[in-house]
Chains A and B, each alone.
Chain A
């Protein structure tokens, strides 16, 4: 897959090799308070110690079952939720650090498109004002902001003459999501997080919006984080894919590596749950049984072990670290079967690693 070579962005600081976003040890535990006096009834380990980087100009897909922490990760990156721990660095500048980038500045560079196209537009504002709101907040004059809103509407495929003064309830779901995309682009961000942005659309509209996103990406030189539970869509959109399970990162790699050579049993199960277009390849056995365990008290060691067919004693005892399997495919996986000398019977021997 070849990427269009983009003209060098004037906002670029560290050059092409520097990741646009690098996340280290991101963590968010939600405390559940129960009862009148707010006693802690439990802790949901929603996002637990996740580290990854987003390279300039790529699309990083994030997949996983519902409740695995995909959306929480998005909200943590936008600082809509305060993380408990972790460092987020945007193009070399630590967000929220004294000598780094302020949260407000980060929000100009990073924007988000939400799943619910109706709830994410103010029903009382004409869509023009919704799009112009962001620039207005950042000190752009009303006329310039409106001009930008009209130009963006044009770019997302809505005729500004017809739509500027419309209200959200007068638009269809697909049109509203186009407006949301225009709103996210109004601040001229470098990174856009799509949190299930096309999941609520029907298939034909979804395809149109996906193609629009592809066009906008080249047109504006954007980088995407594309969150979805739809594996086909993620495969179509992404350069690299990150797989999450119960708040943990289990596998990450190029889209080719993940879809063709998945290593983690969870990723394999997830991919085999994908309906095949080939009638010769029927799924005859359920790839995975049961529900994800309760995130309030996640299993010890490897969190997937309760549903894993290969689980052994070591999986309950030791939490597997993320190890690189294929440097060329940027492929890393967190499974004892891939950690040399981990104690798992299927693990490669330490000698094999050295060779």
Chain B
């Protein structure tokens, strides 16, 4: 308290009072709120660590994730030379988990980004234009929405054949409907507000209204929803790999690793559970972070 009074006295108060009172911008408010939210910060930090270590894996990890050793199969956690043990072919688990993050995160984020672009565009157009076009787009989307997401992903992957690209395509198709629906509903809500009417009344074209008045108000909720989808995507991608529809062995990928280590669960359950732990930690961090972002970005709080 004494400190602040001293500070005020030290600054030329008269000059300061004449300066325009700067209102905090929207993004600085959001950042300020996030700074006071330890859970979201921690989750963000964990995710950042996982992402960075996956990207810079060759520089961090000395061990080769593909090098097998029949003699050192299924070593326990914290055994000599192997911090997290080895898998059923004697490969270093630390290396495989870190390298595995590359494919798992790629399959978790890329479909969501694609779906965000395609589904977001469809939903915003449907919501803003309304009428028959809305009907056409949303009912088509509903057809895809009718299938359970796991089933749809498996069906499309199965039809396209196994492989990284095909599983990304199938996951993208799975995520377009929910993103389109969220985008459509928030856009419809914003479109009916008076400020959009006022913008039309000032003679602006639909494109200008979408760019200036609609996007800023709908991207937040859509983006937050998509962040939540990343965790689902990682789990689904792991599921596809587990079923043999995603990545093929010997590539390290968390879902695939879970599948191959499954047989060893009675021999070394801790090591067999590790890829699952990675999936769990990553997806729960994404979920908690999306919750934190949602409340930090709510302008009315």
Instruction: Decide: B203 and A108 in contact? CB cutoff 8 A.
Output: yes
On chain B, the residues within 8 Å of A120 by CB distance are 193-195, 197-198
Within 8 A of B (CB), among A50-105: 75, 78, 80, 103-104
Tell me, yes or no, whether A137 is within 8 Å of chain B by CB.
Answer: yes
Instruction: Decide: B201 and A107 in contact? CB cutoff 8 A.
Output: yes
A147 to chain B, nearest CB (A): 15
Tell me, yes or no, whether B208 is within 8 Å of chain A by CB.
Answer: yes
A123-B203 CB under 8 A given contacts A114-B197, A162-B20: no
From the candidates A115, A165, A183, name the one contacting B22 in the complex (CB within 8 A): A165
Q: Residues 7-34 of chain B: 1 if any A CB is under 8 Å from the residue's CB, otherwise 0?
A: 0000000000000111101100000000
Tell me, yes or no, whether B217 is within 8 Å of chain A by CB.
Answer: yes
From the candidates B22, B26, B204, name the one contacting A167 in the complex (CB within 8 A): B26
B198 to chain A, nearest CB (A): 5
From the candidates A104, A124, A183, name the one contacting B198 in the complex (CB within 8 A): A183
Q: Residues 216-255 of chain A: 1 if any B CB is under 8 Å from the residue's CB, otherwise 0?
A: 0000000000000000000000000000000000000000
CA A6 to CA B21, docked complex, whole Å? 38
A112-B201 CB under 8 A given contacts A122-B195, A122-B217: yes
CA A123 to CA B204, docked complex, whole Å? 18
A104-B203 CB under 8 A given contacts A119-B195, A120-B198: yes
> Which residue of chain A has its CB nearest to the CB of B190?
A122
Within 8 A of B (CB), among A126-183: 126, 130, 133-134, 137-138, 161-162, 164-167, 169-170, 180, 183
Instruction: Decide: B213 and A122 in contact? CB cutoff 8 A.
Output: yes
On chain B, the residues within 8 Å of A80 by CB distance are 197, 200-201
A153 to chain B, nearest CB (A): 12
Q: Residues 268-301 of chain B: 1 if any A CB is under 8 Å from the residue's CB, otherwise 0?
A: 0000000000000000000000000000000110
Instruction: Decide: A133 and B216 in contact? CB cutoff 8 A.
Output: no
Instruction: Decide: A137 and B203 in contact? CB cutoff 8 A.
Output: yes
Instruction: Decide: A134 and B193 in contact? CB cutoff 8 A.
Output: no
Tell me, yes or no, whether A111 is within 8 Å of chain B by CB.
Answer: yes
Tell me, yes or no, whether A116 is within 8 Å of chain B by CB.
Answer: yes
CA A124 to CA B204, docked complex, whole Å? 18
Q: Number of B residues contacting the other chain (C-beta, 8 Å)?
A: 25
From the candidates A122, A124, A125, A138, name the one contacting B203 in the complex (CB within 8 A): A138
Within 8 A of A (CB), among B257-277: none
CA A78 to CA B202, docked complex, whole Å? 9
On chain B, the residues within 8 Å of A126 by CB distance are 23, 25
Instruction: Decide: A133 and B199 in contact? CB cutoff 8 A.
Output: yes
Within 8 A of A (CB), among B175-223: 193-195, 197-205, 208, 212-213, 216-217
A108 to chain B, nearest CB (A): 6
Instruction: Decide: B23 and A165 in contact? CB cutoff 8 A.
Output: yes
Tell me, yes or no, whether A258 is within 8 Å of chain B by CB.
Answer: no
On chain A, the residues within 8 Å of B212 by CB distance are 122, 125, 133
Q: Which of B22, B23, B203, B213 has the most CB of A within 10 A?
A: B203
B201 to chain A, nearest CB (A): 5
CA A124 to CA B300, docked complex, whole Å? 11
CA A315 to CA B198, docked complex, whole Å? 41
Instruction: Decide: B194 and A119 in contact? CB cutoff 8 A.
Output: yes
CA A80 to CA B212, docked complex, whole Å? 19
A124-B194 CB under 8 A given contacts A80-B200, A134-B202, A137-B204: no
Instruction: Decide: A187 and B26 in contact? CB cutoff 8 A.
Output: no
From the candidates A116, A137, A167, name the one contacting B194 in the complex (CB within 8 A): A116
From the candidates B23, B26, B197, B208, name the one contacting A137 in the complex (CB within 8 A): B208
A137-B198 CB under 8 A given contacts A119-B193, A167-B26: no
Tell me, yes or no, whether A121 is within 8 Å of chain B by CB.
Answer: yes
From the candidates A111, A124, A165, name the one contacting B201 in the complex (CB within 8 A): A111
On chain A, the residues within 8 Å of B205 by CB distance are 137
Q: Residues 32-64 of chain A: 1 if any B CB is under 8 Å from the residue's CB, otherwise 0?
A: 000000000000000000000000000000000
On chain B, the residues within 8 Å of A114 by CB distance are 194, 197-198
Question: What would be 26 A-B contacts, judged by CB atoms less than 8 Å apart?
Answer: A75-B197, A80-B200, A103-B203, A108-B203, A114-B194, A119-B194, A119-B195, A120-B195, A122-B213, A123-B217, A123-B299, A124-B26, A124-B217, A125-B213, A125-B216, A130-B195, A134-B204, A162-B21, A164-B20, A165-B23, A167-B299, A169-B299, A169-B300, A170-B23, A183-B198, A186-B202
Given A114-B197, A119-B194, A124-B217, output 14 extra A-B contacts at Cβ < 8 Å: A80-B200, A112-B201, A114-B194, A114-B198, A122-B213, A123-B299, A123-B300, A124-B26, A133-B204, A133-B212, A137-B203, A138-B202, A165-B20, A167-B299
Interface residues of A (CB under 8 A from B): 75, 78, 80, 103-104, 107-108, 111-112, 114-116, 119-126, 130, 133-134, 137-138, 161-162, 164-167, 169-170, 180, 183, 186-187
